[in-house]
A and B are shown apart, each in its own frame.
Chain A
Amino acid sequence: QQQVKQSPQSLIVQKGGISIINCAYENTAFDYFPWYQQFPGKGPALLIAIRPDVSEKKEGRFTISFNKSAKQFSLHIMDSQPGDSATYFCAASRLKGVASGSRLTFGEGTQLTVNP
């Protein structure tokens, strides 16, 4: 059972454009929603994360929008650059509880290509 569904599978945008990746989750106990960026041959690295008590979080060109009632969250990359070309994963977990925070549930991933 895929508890976090991510779309699209792949995305091509032009330099300077906006990249948008969407995720939906099922488990209402999730209370931590990170996005990871992965370059080929590397491990995923935390990009930005949000807790459900806010609807938006912005860090530089990266913004997470969160809709608790719809159980959806999305990553927006403004002014996309060729260096942003990577695979992006959304994830969800529960921070409360002894072991829960170790259990990240990942989406399927989105391959982003930014053309120059």
Chain B
Amino acid sequence: NAGVTQTPKFQVLKTGQSMTLQCAQDMNHEYMSWYRQDPGMGLRLIHYSVGAGITDQGEVPNGYNVSRSTTEDFPLRLLSAAPSQTSVYFCASRSRGQQFFGPGTRLTVL
């Protein structure tokens, strides 16, 4: 199993650009989540999904969209990037309470 995979590893955007962070898991987990990690703030939940076709907002959803068309994939879309979205983004999937995190995407918005 590859576990949770994320692409790209690094990305630089200009303010106002849009992009999609990809996340995929091959463990057939129903639950998937997106977090952002900022220094001194731990990880904060952006959006999560309890299964294909079902998503909900977390703590910090503004500026981000998600969709879940398949069990495997859970992409995160930035519609109009802002410098405040500079962060490291982690995707996770969950099984029986244990969350498995991907390696992260480091995003810089200039």
Contact = CB atoms under 8 A, between A and B. Distances in A.
B50 A102 contact: yes
Nearest to A108: B42
A9 B40 contact: yes
Interface stretch (A42-50, A63-71, A75-83): A42-50
Interface stretch (A14-22, A53-61, A93-101): A93-101
A50 B45 CA distance: 21
B61 interface: no
B97 A49 contact: yes
Interface in B1-53: 4, 31-33, 35, 40-45, 48-50
Given A43-B101, A49-B97, A99 B50 contact: yes
B84 interface: no
Contacts of A98: 50
Contacts of B102: 43
Interface in A32-50: 32, 34, 36, 41-46, 49
A99 B48 contact: yes
Interface string B88-110: 00101010011111111000000
A75 to B, nearest CB: 15
Contacts of B94: 101-102
B12 to A, nearest CB: 17
Given A43-B90, A103-B45, A105-B45, 4 more contacts: A45-B101, A102-B32, A102-B48, A103-B33
Interface of A: 4, 6, 9, 32, 34, 36, 41-46, 49, 89, 93, 95, 98-99, 101-109
24 contacts: A6-B42, A34-B98, A36-B101, A41-B103, A42-B103, A42-B104, A43-B4, A43-B104, A45-B101, A46-B98, A49-B98, A98-B50, A101-B31, A101-B97, A102-B33, A102-B48, A102-B49, A102-B50, A102-B99, A103-B33, A104-B99, A106-B35, A108-B40, A109-B40
Interface of B: 4, 31-33, 35, 40-45, 48-50, 56, 58, 90, 92, 94, 97-104
